[in-house]
């Protein structure tokens, strides 16, 4: 285990705010995790597992404890019948896995190209974009169980995946160390998402997974702020899933409000919060001090250099209150607080 003392949380998270973490433990094998947890226990300190920090809001007061980073390595591809399985360590950069899979002409991860973060965090919030959720390709997840100190394999069903949610999001005692994905060798393009389809008319043939991944990275680069310049965690809130009745009532007032009936429960409708923020509340680019809703995508919160977590929290609460007042919908954050 590699241990660092007094590390600014702003350097560990893409929102780039927050005070200091007392310790950060880099763990590349099970013994490292055991050592990090023993270190915390001996000092009576709490611990918290952080991956790439791309979906976490760190508090200004910092974290008086041990940040555990499970940075397991490895990316092993094997042919299984008509498919390819790949077992990937939690510390591999997500987009490197996507790139390697499309270079190998495999299908399944291309729509998730360009998402920041590490492989170990992907199942936690069941990352998704452009019509794909990572849970579609996961076979199993191996975790270090901090109670029994053993490695346990979770089947896909045990992971209890749903929209931006999983068993792991609510059970931090299980630290993800590797994830196994099932990828297709046969063409399996999913290009029905409007942003992607629009590109087809513009010269892209969208016939290989590599080409789709490239197109998606391009779309993302136009829609998301540059992480080199500002702090962001992508979508700050989840898209709300509301009842058919609530949706019908809102549609009466706003006939163009998009809605997507949920496959798993047809009486529920997912509505794009970006649309509500844009067309009902006119909050595109809304700014308070160093925090704002991105001009090109109001669901994306942007924190300028020197913004604080306190500012972000009150800004986000204000947005949630405005949505509640205008629509009656209680929105939930996608970003997790450390
Ligand atoms: N819209 C507007 N105005 C805008 C932008 C969007 O009205 O300025 C409306 C449009 O109707 C558009 C809809 O909102 O069709 C949805 O927008 P978009 O396609 O940009 O996606 P999103 O619902 O805001 C979700 C994910 C993103 C993912 C994109 C693309 C969540 C919380 N967010 O955003 O994931 O990249 O779809 O698939 O589900 C993330 O989770 O951090 C994330 C970035």
pLDDT tens for 189-210 read: 999 888 888 888 777 788 899 9
**Measured from the CB, is residue 272 less than 6 Å from ligand 1?**
yes
Average pLDDT over residues 94-110: 98
Residue of 169, 293, 321 whose CA lies nearest to 232: 293
Residue of 215, 236, 194, 231 whose CA lies nearest to 334: 236
**Measured from the CB, is residue 114 less than 6 Å from ligand 1?**
no
Fold entry, domain 2-70: 3.30.43
Mutate to test the pocket of ligand 1, among 164, 198, 224, 274 (most ligand atoms within 8 A of CB): 274
pLDDT of residue 195: 85
Residue 190 C-alpha from the chain's centroid:
20
Please provide the average confidence, as pLDDT, over all residues in the chain: 96
**Could you state, in order of their start, the residue ranges of all structural domains in the chain?**
2-70, 75-184, 231-337
Q: Please tell me whether residue 238 adopts helix, strand or coil conformation.
A: coil
**Measured from the CB, is residue 278 less than 6 Å from ligand 1?**
yes
Q: What phi and psi, each to the nearest 5 degrees, are found at residue 143? A: -130, 155
Span 75-184: which CATH code?
3.30.465.10
Cα torsion 110, 112, 113, 115 to 10°: value is: -170
pLDDT of residue 124: 97
Please state the pTM of the whole predicted model. Answer: 0.95
For residue 179, name the pLDDT band (cuts at 50, 70, 90): very high
Closest ligand 1 atom, CA of 300? 44
Least confident of 61-65, 189-193, 262-266: 262-266
Tokens 């299908």 map to which residue? 107
Instruction: State the Cα–Cα distance between residues 118 and 97, nearest whole angstrom.
Output: 9
Domains 2-70 and 75-184 share a fold: no
Q: Which CATH number fits domain 231-337: 3.40.30.10, 1.10.3720.10, 3.40.980.10, 3.90.78.10?
A: 3.90.78.10
Q: Mind telling me the catalytic residues?
A: 164, 235, 334
Between 262 and 44, the more confident residue is 44
Contact 33, 144 (CB under 8 A): yes
Distance 184 CA to ligand 1 centre (A): 27
**Measured from the CB, is residue 334 less than 6 Å from ligand 1?**
yes
């Amino acid at each position: 285990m590699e241990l660092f003392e007094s590390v600014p949380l702003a350097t560990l998270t893409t929102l780039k705010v927050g005070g200091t973490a007392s310790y950060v433990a880099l763990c590349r094998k099970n013994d490292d995790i055991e050592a990090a947890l023993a270190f915390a226990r001996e000092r009576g300190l709490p611990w918290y597992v952080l991956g790439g920090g791309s979906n976490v809001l760190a508090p200004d007061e910092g974290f008086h404890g041990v940040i555990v980073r499970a940075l397991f390595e490895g990316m092993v591809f094997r042919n299984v019948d008509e498919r390819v399985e790949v077992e990937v360590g939690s510390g591999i950069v997500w987009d490197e896995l996507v790139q390697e899979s499309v270079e190998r002409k495999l299908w399944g991860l291309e729509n998730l190209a360009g998402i920041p973060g590490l492989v170990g965090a992907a199942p936690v919030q069941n990352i998704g974009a452009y019509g794909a959720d990572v849970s579609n390709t996961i076979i199993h997840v191996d975790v270090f169980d901090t109670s029994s100190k053993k490695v346990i394999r979770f089947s896909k069903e045990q992971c209890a995946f749903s929209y931006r949610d999983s068993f792991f999001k609510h059970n931090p005692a299980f630290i993800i160390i590797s994830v196994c994905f099932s990828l297709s060798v046969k063409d399996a393009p999913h290009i029905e998402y409007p942003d992607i389809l629009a590109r087809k008319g513009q010269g892209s043939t969208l016939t290989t997974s590599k080409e789709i991944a490239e197109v998606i990275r391009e779309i993302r680069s136009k829609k998301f702020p540059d992480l080199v310049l500002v702090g962001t965690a992508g979508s700050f809130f989840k898209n709300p899933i509301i009842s058919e009745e609530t949706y019908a009532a809102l549609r009466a007032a706003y006939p163009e409000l998009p809605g997507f009936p949920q496959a798993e429960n047809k009486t529920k409708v997912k509505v794009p919060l970006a649309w509500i923020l844009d067309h009902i509340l006119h909050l595109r680019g809304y700014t308070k001090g160093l925090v704002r809703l991105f001009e090109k995508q109001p669901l994306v919160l942007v924190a300028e250099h020197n913004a604080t977590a306190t500012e972000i929290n009150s800004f986000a609460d204000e947005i949630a209150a405005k949505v509640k007042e205008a629509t009656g919908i209680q929105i939930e954050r996608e970003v997790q607080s450390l």
